[in-house]
Structure 1
Amino acid sequence: MRLFLDALCSQITDEKALSTAEMLGNAMTAGERLLNALLDISTLDAGTVTPDPQPVALDELLAQLVEEFRPQSEEKGLRLRARLCPGTVETDPVLFGRVMRNLLTNAIRYTRHGGLLLAMRRRGDRWRVDVWDTGFGIPEEQLTAIFDEFHQLQNPNRDPTRGLGLGLAIVRRLAELLGLQVEVRSRIGRGTVFSVSLEATAPPAEPAPGPAAALPAAAAPPLTGMTVLAVDDEAMVLTGLQMILESWGCTVAAAGDMREVFAVLDGLPDPPSVILTDLRLPGKVSGFDVIDRVRRLYNREIPAVVLSGETAQSALLEGQRRGCSFLHKPLHPGDLRQVLERLREGEENLPSPAPEEGAREAGG
């Protein structure tokens, strides 16, 4: 749906029609948020998420979150302040970042006037991170219930633009997974503070200086001329992929199964620039099989992107072993474009390979 919508928007010039398309996009975004939140809770309850604890510069992580959420707070007329100091903890930076993002999102959503404060302070052998707001407060008898699914205050009509009531339920599950202590204190009409406590650790040793990093390119590389082998057994998804890729200037070779893969490749003068494939294909064939066969066909490591709705660790490991990028469904076109631009940029920075005799096999 998102692929078709983006392709449609690129074809619309009438302002009224664009406004309607924008409202459709907003409705889809609300549905995506609900779906993603339910998937998060389902995954956490299934016990398939394993934390990857590592030394984390807590002040740097929180400073990045402040800059990430500053536009949202300013849009509501709120002031977002930070009180940080150097400190290191050992935690999973991705999962802990999710905890803090949900707390900051919650604070901004339920604060109408005043501002927010993100602060960290040392308490013995632990760091405590506080998220303060000047919202309407939480009744004492509700301080435990707010962590239940779909529990919301001040939203009797279940307006989805005011949240889903799942953010704090995810915080509770992530905190249990990471071994964090989460506390909440509130005063009606004055505001609320959520506190997360983590064990302090020593900062990691300074790494040896390496070569200077190259400066970023002035602009994102264009996709015009990139040939994409797109493989998906769902006709509507494949059509959506083809439409959006062609709107970006790509040449698309579209296939629904392994037989069609070799048929479309026979019509290409050169190897595809990238393989974009769904993980689950008809029969016992997987996207990894497509990647392996096409790479053998051209005797080169063609970059590959795997689309999947799965979160199983085994699939991720299989993709990593082949050097694949992963994009999870529901697929957002912006994420796909970023990955393709990154692959194009890497391709342009590589030296051109020397032609090999008989590099391409016959048949398929």
Structure 2
Amino acid sequence: MRTELRSADLEVAQQTLDDARALVAPALRRAVDGLPESVRHVVGHHFGWWDAQGSPLPAAEAGKGFRSALALAACEAVGGDRTRALPAAVAVDLVHNASLLHDDIIDQDALRRHRPAVWSVFGMPAAILAGDALFFLTTQVLIEASAPLADAGLAHLSTAIQQLVGGEFDDILFERQREVSPAECLAMATAKTGSLLAASCALGAIAAGAEAGRVEHLRAFGEQLGTALQLVDDVLGIWGSEERTGKPRLSDLRSRKKSLPVVAALAGGGAASRRLARLYGSDGPLTEQELELVADLVEDAGGRAWAVNEAERARRDALEHLAAAHPQPGPAGALTAIARLVTARDH
């Protein structure tokens, strides 16, 4: 299933992301330049600015920049000048990348954005410390910003980071649990991914001085959009191509990850669900043939359809909250286009 993405939406979303990157990239580099040289070297490799030896890389992919773009557009949506949200945009980008540095270690993913992950090049201790440095740099960026980002914004982002960590922790715990319900897994995904997108939108609105009700609706827009994003990513983690995801095909199944489609399939109760449970719970690594079978069983047991339908529901909920914030038409169109882009990836 594919949520329809009109060419006009794609154009608006791409222009919004491009404009945001052009504004945020120099500020992000300035922030990272303040790190100790050894840490800066590792972080720059993660961002794709240079290789392991420090030689510059041409136009390396540094991520889509959804979160920073959301912060800028949310600021404009409530009538603010987007430059007021620039520290927020840099901060959420730093948090996201800090979490990626740690995630790659936790998941033992050797590739990130089609390049070797930091831990696989510099080692786990260096990757952990680089992630820690980015988390603390986030605090510094907001402290150095003017109010309200330096006070209300920092408090809001700190709460979101705790939710993100809690979601990540639950994700790890679920791997050890024999049974996890789809509702528990969905709540984990909302915390793990939705919390930072929620903070991105809320911080943008806070930077513009918006009243509490509009901040909350934009926060909820981001949270639901993040939930949809995690659902789509989990579908791609099983059925997406390496070219599209930057990771080997079937990587989530190879690591026996209890992603959202898998959890929904295991809860199905039918013959495909029972066979999937036996294979997923077996000892030893799964062969390539068994991995293909597991993917088929997840689909046969309804896991893929459930995840895609939940992603669509979350997207609808997000757009309802966006409308309730009474945004300015132009920025509202940009936020809507990004929401459609997030949930319209090829499945």
Fold agreement, TM-score > 0.5? no
User: Whose strand proportion is higher, 1 or 2?
Assistant: 1
What TM-score results when the alignment is normalised by the length of structure 1? 0.22
Bigger Cα Rg: 1
Does 1 or 2 have the higher relative contact order (CA < 8 Å, sep 6+)? 2
